[in-house]
Amino acid sequence: MKAKDIMSKDVVTVSPSAGMRQIYDIFKKTRYGGLPVVDENKKILGMVTKAEILSVFLPDYFDMLGENIIFIDDFGVLDEEFESLPAFELFIAEDIMRKGSVSVEENASILKVSAVMRKHKVRRVLVEKDGALNGIITRGDICRAFFENGDMESND
C-alpha cells in the first residue's frame, strides 16, 4: 500500500501571508492540528501547528521553569482575553511557521511513511507529487491502514 492510497487529498492550506487570526480560526473550527504553508504553485514552504501558535503567547522563560510551571495557577490576561491579544494581528504564517516540512513522495510505502513520522517525531506527513503538495497523512490514517487492511504488504 502506498501513501497515495491512504492520503487525504483535500488539504486545507494557508499562504505565507495568512494572518494568525485566520490560522487560529481554522484550528478552532476544525480538528486539524497543523496547516501546510504553500505558495501559489502548491510548493511546500513550511507548516504551522498549534504548537507554533501557542509559542507566540508563552514566553521562552516558561521553558526554563520545566516541571515547576505547575505552581502557576493564574495566567492572567492569557486566560481572560486570549482571543483579543495583539499578537493575533501582528504575526503571519511566514513569521511563525516551522520552515521546511516532513514529506514523502506519493509512491512511498506506508511503512516508509510510518518510519518517517517516527524518525521526525511528527503527527502528520505531507505527500508530494512533482514537488507540489498532493495530500497529507496523519497517524490515524496509518493506523487505519494497518488495522483495517490486516496487512502491511505492498499492493502493487
pTM for the model? 0.77
Query: What count of other Cβ atoms lies within 10 Å of the Cβ of residue 112?
Result: 15
Q: pLDDT at position 155, please?
A: 45
Q: pLDDT at position 154, please?
A: 45
All domains of the chain in start order, with CATH: 3-149 (3.10.580.10)
Q: pLDDT at position 45, please?
A: 96
> How many Å apart are CA 20 and CA 95, to the nearest integer?
9
Q: Which of 17, 13, 151, 156 lies closest to 96 in space, CA to CA?
A: 17
Q: pLDDT at position 102, please?
A: 94
> How many Å apart are CA 23 and CA 11, to the nearest integer?
14
Query: How many helical (H) and strand (E) elements, i.e. helices and strands, does the chain have?
Result: 9, 6
Q: pLDDT at position 50, please?
A: 86
Q: pLDDT at position 86, please?
A: 65
Report the DSSP pairing between strands 103-105 and 34-38: unpaired
Extract the residue ranges of the chain whose pLDDT is less than 70. 57-87, 149-156
Cα separation of the two ends of the chain: 7
Q: pLDDT at position 66, please?
A: 59
Count Cβ atoms within 10 A of the Cβ of residue 26 and give its class: 0-12 exposed, 13-18 middle, 19 or more buried. Answer: middle
